[in-house]
């Protein structure tokens, strides 16, 4: 419940008649962390994940974040490939990151700050 009540966190739902995907973000002051992104298994590979990650980048711009960070299981080859295709780089491995003991990759992507003319 902490994250749902945190004023620096945001939760988004991708819905078309029913929930098909979700995204949870946390603004850490200069860094936007993707806490969770998920797409219903029956609707994967239809661009929903890309739309959610594009939203994360839009929010990073809004918050003035210099990068987006996330963690992903080293066993989830599909997710690692997905994030890599979106421009995320693996910055290291986190041994036993998950509560069940699985390792994770720390991944990040720099965000270019748009300068708006007045």
Report the domain count for the chain.
1
- Whether residue 113 is predicted with pLDDT greater than 80 in this model: the reply is no
- What is the model's pLDDT at position 7? 81
Tokens of 90: 């693996």
Q: What whole-number distance in Å separates Cα of residue 25 and Cα of residue 7?
A: 11
Domain limits for position 91: 2-110
| Model confidence pTM above 0.95 | no
**Which is nearest to 108 in space by CA: 91, 86, 96?**
91
- Whether residue 112 is predicted with pLDDT greater than 90 in this model: the reply is no
Q: Does residue 117 belong to any structural domain of this protein?
A: no
CATH classification at residue 76: 3.40.630.30
Q: What is the pLDDT of residues 12-22, one digit of tens each?
A: 999 999 999 99
């Amino acid at each position: 419940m902490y994250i749902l009540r945190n004023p620096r966190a945001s939760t988004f739902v991708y819905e078309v008649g029913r929930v098909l995907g979700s995204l949870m973000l946390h603004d850490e002051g200069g860094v936007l962390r993707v806490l969770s992104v998920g797409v219903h298994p029956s609707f994967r590979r239809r661009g929903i994940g890309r739309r959610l990650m594009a939203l994360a980048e839009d929010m990073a711009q809004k918050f003035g974040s210099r990068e987006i960070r996330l963690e992903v299981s080293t066993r989830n080859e599909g997710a690692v490939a997905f994030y890599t295709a979106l421009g995320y780089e693996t910055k290291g491995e986190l041994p036993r990151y998950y509560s069940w003991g699985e390792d994770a990759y720390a991944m990040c992507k720099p965000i270019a700050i748009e300068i708006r003319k007045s």
